[in-house]
Amino acid sequence: MICSLDFCNKEVIAKQVCKGHYSQLRAGQPFAPLRSPSDTLKNHICLVSDCQAVAKTKRLCRHHYDKKRRAEKAKPKVFKPTVCYGPACDRKPVAKGLCNSHWAQLSRHGELRQIVTNETILQRFNKNIQEDENGCWRWIGAGSGKNYVAETGEGGYGQLRYAGKSYMAHRWSYEHYNKITLHKEDTLDHLCRVTRCCNPEHLEIVSRSENVKRKHLYEQLRSENKRMRLFITSLGYEPNVILGGDYYPDLSSL
């Protein structure tokens, strides 16, 4: 049985129309002549001259289509310098072929000059140290850590930068004055409880779990100490006289 439409001579499959027109009917489209096989892509030849292969995608055969995609994906190799191109500089580049120092210099002044550093790392360290009445070597330079506040320079840990490298100030101090090398798993505990302190006498190598345990214990003792001071004050006495000053427990002996 032939399709009921005048312009179609294909075999009927349902609703007195052929398969193609039945699809048009289900899609809610008006009946229209179906495309002949000669109008489909499968009978087209590859557009590339001297190629007689059947076109598969975008009027190209499989070989030439893959070749075109590879050419589009291929990017020219960008030269990456291994050293800073600033004047008389052999540091590692970090941005636009410049090291940290020359990049900052170009951003601030718009020109590149030779960077001359006459001070040693120890002089740089001492320049950022300020000793207080408790013997703490407080770091007044840049810092890091989740508790560091850049606006006030308080909290966190000291950050020592020298010759394009960055060091934790308290770890560098402990290594320098004790003539040892710390491993990554070594944890330094601040016995004075001042994280920006770099005095090696106020530092002790402990395990990470021991460091956390001491931190919680110190917080508990400090809370108890505050409660005791308030109690002594309520009796009419001076806490500093009774306790002998601003008392903090020596956790190194616990």
pLDDT at 250 over 60: no
What's the confidence (pLDDT) of residue 249?
A: 47
Q: How many Å separate Cα 143 from the centre of its chain? A: 17
pLDDT band at 165 (very low <50, low <70, confident <90, very high): confident
Contact (Cβ atoms closer than 8 angstroms) between residue 61 and residue 54: yes
pLDDT of 252 higher than 50: no
What is the rounded (10 degree) CA torsion for 10, 14, 20, 21?
A: 100
State the pLDDT at residue 253.
40
- The gap from C-alpha 94 to its chain's centroid, in whole angstroms, comes to 14
- CA 218 – CA 202 distance, rounded (Å): 15
Beta pairing partners, 204: 189
In this structure, are residues 211 and 189 in contact, taking their beta carbons and an 8 Å threshold? yes
pLDDT grade for 116, boundaries at 50, 70 and 90: confident
**CB-CB contact of 45 with 53 (8 Å):** yes
pLDDT digits (tens, 9 = 90+) for 54-80: 888 888 888 889 988 888 777 676 778
| pLDDT at residue 254 tops 50 | no
Integer Cα distance of 58 and 48 in angstroms: 12
* pLDDT, tens digit, 9 for 90 and up, residues 172-228: 999 999 999 998 888 999 888 888 999 999 999 998 888 888 888 887 777 777 888
Secondary structure class of 13 (helix, strand, coil) = strand
Q: Which long-range contacts (CB under 8 A, 24 or more apart) does 183-192 make?
A: 187/211, 189/214, 189/251, 191/250, 191/251, 191/252, 192/134, 192/135, 192/136
On average, the pLDDT of the chain sits at 82
Q: Own/partner pairs for 38-45, CB < 8 Å, 24+ apart?
A: none
Per DSSP (E only), the strands in 59-153 are 129-131, 137-139, 143-144
Q: Residue 169's pLDDT is what? A: 92
Cβ count near 157 (within 10 Å): 20
Distance CA 245, CA 254 (A): 21
Taking the CB of residue 19, how many other CB atoms lie within 10 A of it? 13
Query: Measured between alpha carbons, how far is 135 from 141 in angstroms, rounded to an integer?
Result: 18
Per-domain residue ranges for the chain? 12-73, 129-206, 211-253
